[in-house]
Amino acid sequence: MGRHHLGPRIAGLVGAVLALALVFNDPALVNIARDRVFDQFQRLAPRDYDADPVRVVEIDDAALEKYGQWPWPRHRFATIIDKLNEAGAASIVFDVILAEPDRTSPGNVAKSWLDSPVLAPIVAELGASDLAAVDHDRRFAAALASAPTVLHLTARAGASDGGCPPALGASRVQGMPASDLARVAPSFRQVVPPLKMFREAASGEGFARAGLAEDAIVRSVPLIALACDGTEVYPSLALEAIRVAAPKLDPQYATPAFVKAAQNGQCRAHVTGIARQSVSEVVMCRLHFPTTEDGQLWVHYSRPDSVAKRRLSVVDILEGDPSDIADAVKGRIVMIGASAEGLRDVLVTPLGDERPGVHIHAEVIEQALAGKTLFRAWDLMRPIEIGLAAIVSLMILLFLPRLSAAAGFGIWAVLTAALFGGAFYAFQSSRLLIDPVTPGLVVTAAFVPAFVVMFQQEQLARRFIRGAFGKFLSPLLLERLERDPTLLKLEGEQREITAFFSDIRGFTSISEQLTPQQVTAMLNQYFTQMTRIVVVHKGLVDKYMGDGLAAMWNAPIDVADHPAEAARAALDMMKALDKLNDGWRSTKELPVPEIRIGIGLHVDEARVGNFGSEDKLEYSMLGDMVNLTSRLESLTKQYGVPIIISAEMRQRIPDFAAVPLGAFTVKGRSDPTVIFALAGDEALAASPAFQQFRRAFEAGILALEEGDAYGALEHFGACGQGETYGFDDAIAFFVAKAEAMRHQGQS
């Protein structure tokens, strides 16, 4: 029962097509699975924190405890700017919302005191002009103007109130126009800027927003955003931090290309991509930020302990020694953000830890300056991944049906492991984000239905094999056939086999002495022993023919040295027959006279396979060599020997004990056939006594062939003087033949 290759291929093709249709729709589950795989890559190979171009000055719990509750007066921020600027910070970035006037400025405080009967006289005594002269916002604006500073824009999704400010001139994003970006990049209806005096004083401004996935993990950060109904394009806080820091950034913290571009004043954000379809990258100062199709940068996170390495407290800046501050921030980008409980925006990273949002922007800056950003070109890699999945699936469907189910499963497992292992290797060695989930899903969808059909076919084949050969084939060969049913070519094949035929001598007269039940019992016992011997010697019982038995070796699968295996089986059958005769005589349960059998063996090519009718097929052998083997078996009656083998068989077992019987002409053949009588195995052939017997027997046969009757009688007479090895009847047959020749010669 052969396997049909078309069924598994059709089933696998249907599965692959359905999977491809699914991934083309970009389903959420596939995206989630892909993101989780990328998360695992980051955990296995996080970014090395080998340079520290960014310091984060945190408004932490210690600072609140020392300087009081939030919000702080803006003059404190001005002092922080002054100290950082004096220490040589390359840029000072505020990840703090500064959209409202400072309520702690004396002028603003005085206005709230006017409604108080107790405080109003104090305000009147001081005078409004004196209070207005002390303005924390103006103090802060002056500090902003004196240093390389970047402010925070707040993007909102609510309805625009018509107050959308244009981006600062130096901060404007070049490249793709807003009309094209509006179709792909994140867009907000409204942007709330810092106070006008702050914007006019600062060196740059950018929005701070993380790309939250459905599971609230920050895997990417937008580098650009649109607002005001898609008319304005704003850079991210990280981009602006780099742009503003370029002239003063310590060269050791950036790539040579960046340093050269900064010296030439080429620091402007430039967006490239496919118009109205996708963003591919943002370039600034020759730093390349490969993005997703909507302009987001995949963040390659460093280990959680990097947070502590880049952290400084506000207390360290306000109270620390100027030289210590300079050592910490000189030539670096300094970001100011909140980490105190109740103030910070805590975000979850793919590494599974929680970090203040300001540190995520610091991660973006660090990997960008080192030129070690993650890369995943959606418009290029996704078609490649889907195409690769389709090609691998077709290859699987082409070769899989030719394999066993176990081998096919192993190939699928290796391919799947290679997909995920290769993707991780690309991530670790080249920072490439290659999606193994999509091709893995398609390959699995192609494999599973094909495997199911193959498994069903294999189970049917196994049941057929066990039903057809289970009782007539050795367990070892049966296991090989079950493991690989393709070895069984049921449609028929031409192959070399050793054919075997045996028959019980005088069975008709024996059966006349027994009842039908006794005949059945005798044959069952006889065939049980003979069949077991065939199976033990790796042969296959072809059929039972009344009292006859047909078997073959080297079919349906290969058997090493099959002529020798068949010869040993024939010799073992003669020994088993002696035990059966002894048993029948001793028990007397069956009044069976001593039975004798004849065996014919021949090796040659034959046709083997399933033969019969459309209603019933049997695995069997056909061909001229089969007819010859049957004829050899029948000659055992004439020559009086138990086992006759052909000359071809003798050539394949030259070490066995055998004697020639001469030649005879088979009906339908013109050339005579040389035959031998098999006497025993290699041990008997090596014994001096048998060698002497064989030489005498061969000399007798040769004398007969030469017409020397007297010589033949002499040689065969010598054979009968000692051990005859079961050839008494054969010796008598040839002696009679020599006597007849002698009488003919005398007459």
Q: Helix, strand, or coil here: 276? A: coil
Residues 287 and 413 in one domain: no
Cβ neighbours for 524, distance < 8 A, ≥ 6 positions apart: none
Q: Where are the beta strands (DSSP E) in 52-189?
A: 54-59, 91-94, 149-156, 174-175
Residue 477 lies in a domain: no
54-59/333-338 β-pairing = parallel
Task: Scan for tokens 């060695």, then name that residue.
Answer: 429
Please report the pLDDT score of residue 665 as a whole number.
80
Residues 164 and 264 in one domain: yes
Residue 480 has pLDDT above 60, yes or no: no
CB 236, CB 206: distance < 8 Å: yes
**44: its two tokens:** 């296995």
Residues 80 and 178 in one domain: yes
As a whole number of angstroms, the distance between CA 679 and CA 658 comes to 5
As a whole number of angstroms, the distance between CA 264 and CA 29 comes to 47
Please report the pLDDT score of residue 474 as a whole number.
47
Q: pLDDT tens for residues 313-357?
A: 999 999 999 999 999 999 999 999 888 887 767 889 999 888 888
As a whole number of angstroms, the distance between CA 646 and CA 632 comes to 8
Among candidate residues 370, 388, 417, the one where a domain is terminated: 370
Please report the pLDDT score of residue 1 as a whole number.
41
As a whole number of angstroms, the distance between CA 8 and CA 447 comes to 9
Residue 117 lies in a domain: no
Nearest Cα neighbor of 713 from 699, 696, 700 is 700
Cβ neighbours for 685, distance < 8 A, ≥ 6 positions apart: 655, 656, 657, 658, 691
Residue 484 lies in a domain: no
Residue 403 lies in a domain: yes
Residues 90 and 167 in one domain: yes
In terms of C-beta density within 10 A (0-12 exposed, 13-18 middle, 19 or more buried), how is residue 743 classed?
exposed
Residue 115 lies in a domain: no
Please report the pLDDT score of residue 51 as a whole number.
72
Residues 444 and 344 in one domain: no
Using alpha carbons, list the distances in angstroms from residue 574 to 540, 597, 641. Answer: 18, 8, 11
As a whole number of angstroms, the distance between CA 344 and CA 58 comes to 10
Residues 336 and 434 in one domain: no
Other beta carbons within 10 Å of 472: 18
Q: What is the mean pLDDT of the chain?
A: 83
Q: pLDDT tens for residues 258-278?
A: 888 888 877 888 888 877 678
Task: Name the band, by pLDDT with cuts 50, 70 and 90, for residue 111.
Answer: low
Residue 117 has pLDDT above 90, yes or no: no
Residues 80 and 97 in one domain: yes
Query: What are the helix (H) ranges across 182-267?
Result: 196-201, 237-245, 256-263
Amino acid at 229: D
Please report the pLDDT score of residue 419 as a whole number.
87
As a whole number of angstroms, the distance between CA 417 and CA 415 comes to 5
Q: What's the whole-number mean pLDDT along residues 662-681?
A: 86
Residue 676 has pLDDT above 80, yes or no: yes
Among candidate residues 686, 706, 723, the one where a domain is terminated: 686
Residue 119 lies in a domain: no
Task: Name the band, by pLDDT with cuts 50, 70 and 90, for residue 2.
Answer: very low
Size of the chain, expressed as the number of residues it contains: 747
Structural domain count, the chain: 4
Residue 49 lies in a domain: no
Structural domain of residue 435, as residue ranges? 5-44+376-467
Q: In this predicted model, which residue has the larger pLDDT, 454 or 639?
A: 639
Residue 255 has pLDDT above 70, yes or no: yes
Give the dihedral sign, CA 533/538/539/544.
positive
Lowest-pLDDT range of 1-10, 199-208, 623-632, 673-682:
1-10
Lowest-pLDDT range of 184-198, 509-523, 641-655, 680-694:
184-198
At residue 565's C-alpha, the angle toward residues 494 and 505, to 5°, is: 95
**539: its two tokens:** 């042969």
